[in-house]
Copies of this chain bind each other. A is one copy, B any other.
């Protein structure tokens, strides 16, 4: 099943999604951005999509309209876009509800959330990206599932409540792991030490964690309940109260769990 698709927004998601959809055999008809230059930045990545800076899609041949703009812009754009009959409007956000599309002129609405961190210019293997899909209309759900499956085998039908849980888990697994590495970088820099020294350990730990599960993979002073070392480290971090408290709290949680 091949679809005609219009993309609204010209950010990181659009940059990756438009060529992936085309490679999967779909046709990108238009790309909208408030600034036409940004729209052209995306249409240049595909065969023959039309760049647009107005929201009148009443003459569009597209069937599916994908909102790839940032969360705070979804509501306004959904309300303003003029869509043809029988169109499906979806957003690609991990946090926003389905209801946010409720006042649009679309016949059907849904969510097509690629659970990945995208940066323009940095290649992502799209066939390894999980897609979380949602719709209240069974026909739309099936279409979104078919569409997503043409890009990646990892397609999950997820209710809004669960999508929120996924997003919270993603914050811990992605943003917070990244921040722990940030803190490690800063401790090393502060002492004039080369952060490269730590990379093999971090890579080994995290590959082990994803392979055998984080519970089994845990090591270090907290899981050993080595209070002497924990106290020493806590004292070491006395120069930054918030950091010392983060150290204490996570160590406690490791001990408790």
- Write the residues of chain A forming the contact surface with B, with a CB cutoff of 8 angstroms: 71, 95, 115-117, 119, 122, 124, 128-130, 132, 154, 156, 158, 162, 164-185, 187-188, 190-195, 197-206, 208-210, 213-215, 217-223, 226, 229, 232-233, 236-237, 242-243, 245-247, 249-250, 252-254, 256-257
Q: What separation, in Å, do the CA atoms of A173 and B226 have in the docked complex?
A: 18
Nearest Cβ in chain B — how far from A60, in angstroms?
Answer: 31
What is the bound-complex CA distance between A158 and B197, given in angstroms?
Answer: 11
Q: When A191-B165, A232-B164 are in contact, do A202 and B179 touch as well, CB less than 8 Å?
A: no
Kindly list chain B residues whose C-beta atoms are within 8 Å of the C-beta of A257.
182
Q: Which of B117, B124, B215, B242 contacts A253 (CB 8 A)?
A: B242
Q: Could you write out 15 A-B pairs with CB less than 8 Å apart?
A: A115-B197, A154-B200, A168-B237, A170-B198, A171-B220, A171-B233, A175-B218, A177-B206, A178-B205, A178-B218, A180-B180, A181-B209, A183-B253, A202-B206, A203-B210
- B162 lies within 8 A of A193 (CB): yes
**Residue contact B181 to A165, C-beta cutoff 8 Å:** no
* Shortest distance between the CB of A23 and any CB in chain B (Å): 18
Q: Whole-angstrom distance from the CB of A8 to the nearest CB of chain B? A: 20
- By a CB distance below 8 angstroms, the chain B residues around A254 are 175, 179
